[in-house]
Amino acid sequence: MKINPTKTINELITVLAYITDIDEKKKSYHTWRVAILSCKIAEKLVSQRELRRIFYAAVLHDIGGAGFPYNILHYLKKKDKESQNILFSHPILGAQLVSNIPQMTPVAKLILDHHEWVNGHGYPRGKTNKFIPIGSKIIRIADSIDIAIQTGRFKEMGPLLKHLSTNVNKEYSYDLFSKARQVLSKGNFYRKLLSSSNIPLIFQDTKEKAGFIKIPSRVDAIGTALEAIAQIIDMKHPYTSGHSLRVSRYAMGIALAFDLDHDYITKIKWSGLIHDIGKISLSRQILDKPSKLTPKEFIKVKTHASLTNQILNMMSTLKEIALIASSHHERFDGKGYPLGLKGEKIPLGARILAVCDAFDAMTSNRPYRRPLTPLAACKEMEKRSGTQFDPLVVKQAIPLFKNLKL
């Protein structure tokens, strides 16, 4: 299986940023606007290599908030201690997560400092101007511009600039404010920035100008990146910590028992790591609900499978695993979702993931029940063999699972 790791990982990062911007009501385009503004401000101030790093840091600057109950922008309006603690933690969490992606350590450093102020009153470390990387300072002012835009109060540029000027030499330097003002004042750029319909096209142009961060073609760099993405996915729900990695590993064991070829085993491994990527757009209020979901809530939860399919089809290099990853809730009897596939119409990789996903759910703690032992979970899977699960997959899974020490 020949897949370009540079293209795949860079595409995955931008798509991940897209879905973390989705909340219950709308697509905010916050991270994309911040990336657009950051790159415009950075032009002629930094090298092409640094511009590229700034682009990816801007795209991922709020990724540390992916597991919060609400979209990160929600907490900006709150002054209570809990909300402030959440805000203060997200640059640290984001930097930790991004540093696990191959070649992204310089990007992680910019994310860590993107809430530092030049006067030393920022967070998390209270750095002052000369100790803050230029990339972080650029993202800081770009972030502030879009946060103001998100309020809906600045339909005209004049009032926005007046608002921004109040934090000159506090949050950002006068020089960067002047550069930002120059960018916003050029032609009809500000008008275009206000319209959500323009953002995807402007973002694509910005992404192409920034270019890809080169990822070395070492052993499964994509798998390493997807493991980092799996961490981000599982942050969304405290009861699923480590879930995606476990599902992937269980699935690889079954795939090896089937004596499948190396490429297909790799597809199953990757699919297991990101099978729940569609859950990032779901509300924590639904995912964490301790009682039974209402029919309406269950319909919302079910959308994560089709959204996983849509997300992976947005990436030219991961399209071929989209059906495997998104079909882990299909049932062998055809009563599953999202497509209602039946029997061998469901890809073998997805039939394997279905068993692994259910096994991990049954053996993990939940607010409404205690975990089953591996042996008890295996007995439950045997009961569902031929209805929910493929009997052949269950047959291969039981010897691997029944004596696991969890």
What is the mean pLDDT of each successive set of 10 residues along the chain, which is 406 residues long? Answer: 83 80 69 97 96 97 80 74 83 92 94 98 96 98 96 94 98 98 96 94 96 80 88 77 94 95 95 92 75 86 92 88 97 97 98 98 82 95 98 97 84
The radius of gyration of the chain from alpha carbons, rounded to an integer in Å, stands at: 23
Question: What's the rounded Cα separation, in Å, for the pair 187 and 208?
Answer: 21
Instruction: Work out whether the CA dihedral 82, 139, 192, 204 comes out positive or negative.
Output: negative
Indicate whether 266 and 373 sit together in one domain: yes
Question: What's the rounded Cα separation, in Å, for the pair 15 and 339?
Answer: 23
- How do residues 116-168 score in pLDDT, each as one tens digit? 999 999 999 999 999 999 999 999 999 999 999 999 999 999 999 999 999 99
CATH number at residue 366: 1.10.3210.10
Indicate whether 64 and 182 sit together in one domain: yes
Number of domains forming the structure of the chain? 2
Question: What's the rounded Cα separation, in Å, for the pair 95 and 85?
Answer: 16
Give the pLDDT confidence score for residue 153 in this predicted structure.
Answer: 93
| 315 in any annotated domain | yes
Indicate whether 121 and 206 sit together in one domain: yes
Indicate whether 269 and 203 sit together in one domain: no
| 226 in any annotated domain | no
Indicate whether 272 and 174 sit together in one domain: no
pTM for this prediction: 0.85
Indicate whether 203 and 320 sit together in one domain: no
Indicate whether 120 and 204 sit together in one domain: yes
Indicate whether 133 and 58 sit together in one domain: yes
Indicate whether 184 and 244 sit together in one domain: no
Indicate whether 153 and 247 sit together in one domain: no
Exposed/middle/buried for 259, CB within 10 Å: 0-12, 13-18, 19+? exposed
| 227 in any annotated domain | no
Q: Is 204 helix (H, G, I), strand (E, B) or coil?
A: helix
| 221 in any annotated domain | no
For 386, the token pair is: 């031929």
Residue 302's domain comprises: 236-401
